[in-house]
C-alpha cells in the first residue's frame, strides 16, 4: 500500500493569502494565525504573498486572478461573514463559498476555504484565535498538506 501524506514543502513554493478587510478585527487574527503556522512549517516570508480585498464577496474574483497569475502554488482565502438583521448574510455566504469552491476545483492551484460564517461577532472571535481555535491556522496547515501531496502525486505520474 502506498500512502501519500504531508511532508514539508520545498522553498520554491509560493503561497498566496487573500484576506477580506470586512470585520478586520477578526480577519486580521485569521491572517496572523495563518502566517504564524506557515512560518512554523518552514515557509519563509519571501514565499508568502498577502492580498487584501474589501469583503468576502470579492475573494473569489481575486483568488481566481491570483490562481491564474502563476505567482503562487497555493492560496488561502480568509474572511468573516457575520449575520446581521437581514438575509443578506445568506447570499454573501452562499456566493462566497460557491465562488471559492469553483476556483479551487477548476483553477490552477489548491484553495483553502478560511471564511468564517457565524451568527455573532463572539462566535467569529472564538474561531480566530479564541476557544474554538483559529481557522487561519487550520488553513495554513491544510495548504502545506495539499501542496505536499499534490507534488507527490505529480512525481508518480
Ligand atoms: N456583511 C459582510 C460582508 N459584506 C460585504 C460583501 O462581502 C461585499 O464586499 C459587498 O457586498 C460589496 O460587493 N462582507 C464580509 O466579508 N463579511 C460580512 O459580514
Ligand atoms: C453578512 C452581512 O452582509 C451583514 O453584515 C449585513 O447586515 P444586515 O443584514 O443587518 O444589513
Cβ neighbours, 10 Å, residue 44: 9
pLDDT higher than 80, residue 56: yes
Is 11 strand, coil or helix?
coil
Does the Cβ of 81 fall within 6 Å of ligand 1? yes
Closest atom of ligand 2 relative to the 83 alpha carbon: 1
- Put simply, whether the predicted model's pTM sits higher than 0.90 gets the answer yes
Q: What is the pLDDT of residue 2?
A: 83
**Tens-place pLDDT, residues 73-105:** 999 999 999 999 999 999 999 999 999 999 999
> Would residue 88 show up in a list of annotated catalytic residues for this protein?
yes
| Nearest-ligand number for the alpha carbon of 88 | 2
ipTM higher than threshold 0.90 = yes
Confidence of residue 55 (pLDDT cuts 50, 70, 90): very high
Q: What is the pLDDT of residue 65?
A: 98
Output the nine-digit C-alpha cell for 126: 472564538
Where are the extended beta strands (E) located within the chain?
A: 15-20, 48-53, 74-82, 111-118, 128-130, 133-134
Cα angle 106-112-115, degrees, rounded to a multiple of 5: 115
Cite the annotated binding site by residue number.
Answer: 22, 56-58, 80-82, 85-86, 113, 127
7, 88, 94, 119: which is the annotated catalytic residue? 88
Tell me the average pLDDT of the chain: 96
**Domains present along the chain, CATH in parentheses:** 15-146 (3.40.50.960)
Amino acid at each position: 500500500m502506498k500512502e501519500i501524506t504531508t511532508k514539508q514543502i520545498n522553498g520554491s513554493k509560493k503561497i498566496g493569502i487573500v484576506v477580506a478587510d470586512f470585520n478586520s478585527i477578526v480577519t486580521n487574527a485569521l491572517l496572523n494565525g495563518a502566517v504564524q503556522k506557515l512560518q512554523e512549517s518552514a515557509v519563509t516570508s519571501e514565499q508568502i504573498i498577502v492580498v487584501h480585498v474589501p469583503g468576502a464577496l470579492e475573494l473569489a474574483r481575486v483568488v481566481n486572478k491570483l490562481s491564474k497569475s502563476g505567482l503562487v502554488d497555493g492560496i488561502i482565502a480568509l474572511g468573516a461573514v457575520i449575520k446581521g438583521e437581514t438575509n443578506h448574510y445568506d447570499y454573501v455566504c452562499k456566493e462566497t463559498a460557491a465562488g471559492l469552491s469553483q476556483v479551487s476545483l477548476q483553477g490552477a492551484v489548491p484553495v483553502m476555504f478560511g471564511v468564517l460564517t457565524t451568527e455573532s461577532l463572539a462566535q467569529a472571535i472564538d474561531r480566530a484565535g479564541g476557544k474554538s481555535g483559529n481557522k487561519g491556522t487550520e488553513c495554513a496547515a491544510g495548504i502545506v498538506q495539499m501542496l505536499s501531496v499534490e507534488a507527490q502525486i505529480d512525481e508518480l505520474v
